[in-house]
Amino acid sequence: MDDPSRIYIGTAFVAGALLTLGLKDLVYPELERRIREHQACSQGPSEDPQDEEALSARAGPPAIVEGIEGCIGNTPLFRIKSLSDATGCEILGKAEFLNGAGQSSKDRVALSMIQLAEEHGILSPHSGDTIYEGTSGSTGISLASLARAKGYLAHICMPSDQAIEKSNLLLKLGAIVDRVPPAPIVEKDNFVNRARALAQAQTASDAQGTGFFADQFENEANWRAHFSGTGPEIYAQCEGKLDAFIAGAGTGGTISGVALFLKPKIPNLYVVLADPQGSGLYNRVRFGVMFDYKEKEGTRRRRQVDSIVEGIGINRVTANFEAGKELVNDAVRVTDAQALAMARWLVEKDGLFVGSSSAVNCFAAVKTAMKLGPGHRIVTVLSDSGSRHLSRFWAKAGDVGGAVDTQLEDVLNAHEDQ
C-alpha cells in the first residue's frame, strides 16, 4: 500500500472516530429513548402509580420462591378458544387450577387465613396447633398442604356425599378426615359446626397445641385474599380492559373480593353470579329472596344444595358474600345437565378438563356473552381440575370419546334426561 492510501485510510478512521464521539451525546439518548419506548409498548400501558397491587401482579413472581406458598397466585389468564369463537366475545379463563399448593383457587384463601391467624398469635408453627375446617374438599386440601409446609396439623370435616378422591387426597396429605352426613347449617352435626366444635374442644383441653377453626365462610381473610391477589392480577392481565366478571359462590369470597377490587377501577363492569341448581343465591341476587324451587318441601333429595356440582351453591348469605353482594349485577342459574354438557364441551373443543364449579362458571360466561353481544371481554374462574371430580361429577358426565361435532346450542339446551 502506497503512502497516499495509508494517509487516506488513517484520516478516514480518525474522522470516523471523531464523528462518533462528537455525535454520541446526540445519537445515544435518541437510541435509548427508542429502546425505552419499545419496552413500554411490549409491556402494555402503564397503570396508575397508586395501583400497587396491579403493578406487583404484572411484575410476576421472582425466579426463586420460598416454599410451596410462594407458588400461589400469578396464575395465567387465557382465551378459551371454543367459547370465544362461538360467541364473538373474548371469554378468558383464570387458571386457578395452576396454583402451586392445593391446585385450586382455595390456595389463596387457605394461605390468607393461616397468615392472619399467625399475625394475631393464634397459630404458632411446630407447637402442636391444629387447623380445623368444614369444607366440601378444595379448601381442606389447600389447608392440609399448607399446614404441613408451615408446621401445623390439619383436621378436615366434609360432607360424606362429596367425591371420594378429595378425602383420599386429604389422607395422603396427612390430615385427619371426618366424612359426615350432609346436614343443614342450623344442625350441630353440620360439617362446618362439627369442625368448629372440635377446634373449641382441643383449645379447651389439656392437649398440646391450640385448635384453630379457619371458618372460610365467615373469615374476612377469604375475600381479602382475592381483593389483594386475584383481582389485581386480572386487572393487570387485562390492562384494565374488561366488561364482565363471572364467578360462582360457595363461601362468596372470590366474587366479593374480585368485585370489590375491580368495580372502583371499572365502574361499568358487569359482575355476574354463576349459581347451580338448588342454591338460593340466584334468587337472592335477582329478587332479594333466599329460595330455590328445589328447596320446596317434598322435592329435595339431599339435605344440602340439591346439585351434583361441588364447591359452589349455598342457601344462606355468608359474611364473605355479604361483603360484596351489592356489587353483583346479575345471576345465571345453571342446571346439572347444563354443567355436565359444558364440561364435556370444554374437553371436546379445547382439551380443557375442569371441575364442576368451573363448568358452571363457563356456562354462565356464555350466557352473559350472549346477553352483552359480540365484542365484549369476559373473565371467569377455572377453580380446579376435573381430576377431583372423577367419582361423582365426571362419572355422570361419562367419557367424551370421539365426539367432535357438538354444537353450543346442544350445551345451552341440555336437559336432565340427556
Query: Phi and psi dihedrals of 94, rounded to 5?
Result: -85, 110
Lowest-confidence region among 32-36, 124-128, 319-323, 411-415: 32-36
Which pairs from 150-154 meet CB under 8 Å and 24+ separation? Answer: 150/69, 150/114, 150/125, 151/125, 151/126, 151/127, 152/114, 152/123, 152/125, 153/128, 153/129, 153/209, 154/130
The mean per-residue pLDDT over the stretch 353-380 comes to: 98
Please check the confidence at residue 418 and state whether its pLDDT lies above 80: no
Position 350: which residue type? D
In a domain, 142, yes or no: yes
Please check the confidence at residue 365 and state whether its pLDDT lies above 80: yes
Give the Cα separation of 161 and 305 in Å (integer): 11
Give the Cα separation of 26 and 1 in Å (integer): 36
The pLDDT score that the predictor gives to residue 59 is: 55
Q: Indicate the helix (H) or strand (E) that contains 293.
A: none
Residue 415 confidence class, pLDDT cut points 50, 70, 90 = confident
Largest CA distance in the chain: 112
Choose one of 183, 213, 243: the last residue of a domain: 213
Query: pLDDT tens, 111-153?
Result: 999 999 999 999 999 999 999 999 988 999 999 999 999 999 9
Please check the confidence at residue 417 and state whether its pLDDT lies above 80: no
The pLDDT score that the predictor gives to residue 39 is: 39
Specify the number of domains making up the chain.
Answer: 2
DSSP 89-129: SEEEEEEGGG-SSSSBTHHHHHHHHHHHHHHTTS--TTTT-
Instruction: Give percent above pLDDT 90 in the chain.
Output: 78
- Helical spans, DSSP H, in 173-318: 191-204, 221-225, 231-237, 253-265, 281-287
Nearest to 349 by CA among 75, 93, 77, 76: 93
The mean per-residue pLDDT over the stretch 2-29 comes to: 43
The mean per-residue pLDDT over the stretch 45-71 comes to: 66
* DSSP tag of 384: B
Please check the confidence at residue 187 and state whether its pLDDT lies above 80: yes
The pLDDT score that the predictor gives to residue 291 is: 67
Residue 162 confidence class, pLDDT cut points 50, 70, 90 = very high
Instruction: Give percent above pLDDT 70 in the chain.
Output: 81
In a domain, 46, yes or no: no
Say whether both 252 and 349 belong to one domain: yes
In a domain, 280, yes or no: yes
Q: Say if residues 139 and 216 touch (Cβ distance below 8 Å).
A: yes
Lowest-confidence region among 21-25, 330-334, 367-371: 21-25
Query: Phi and psi dihedrals of 277, rounded to 5?
Result: -60, 145
The pLDDT score that the predictor gives to residue 45 is: 40
Give the Cα separation of 157 and 177 in Å (integer): 6
Query: Left (φ > 0), alpha (ψ -120 to 50) or beta: where does 396 sit?
Result: alpha
Please check the confidence at residue 19 and state whether its pLDDT lies above 80: no
In a domain, 24, yes or no: no
Return the higher-pLDDT residue of 24 and 391. Answer: 391
Return the higher-pLDDT residue of 411 and 60. Answer: 411
Which residues form the domain of 81?
71-102+220-296+305-413
Say whether both 112 and 94 belong to one domain: no
The pLDDT score that the predictor gives to residue 208 is: 83
Tell me what the pLDDT averaged over the chain comes to.
87
Please check the confidence at residue 36 and state whether its pLDDT lies above 70: no
CATH number at residue 399: 3.40.50.1100
Give the Cα separation of 407 and 3 in Å (integer): 84
The pLDDT score that the predictor gives to residue 131 is: 98
Nearest to 108 by CA among 288, 232, 213: 232
Say whether both 173 and 278 belong to one domain: no
Say whether both 158 and 202 belong to one domain: yes
The pLDDT score that the predictor gives to residue 290 is: 83
Query: Phi and psi dihedrals of 312, rounded to 5?
Result: -135, 160
Beta strands in 264-376 (DSSP E): 270-276, 330-334
Please check the confidence at residue 388 and state whether its pLDDT lies above 90: yes
Say whether both 374 and 285 belong to one domain: yes
Active site residues: 106
In a domain, 16, yes or no: no
- Coil, strand or helix: which one is 353? coil
Taken in order 350, 97, 183, 393, the sign of the CA dihedral is: positive
In a domain, 21, yes or no: no
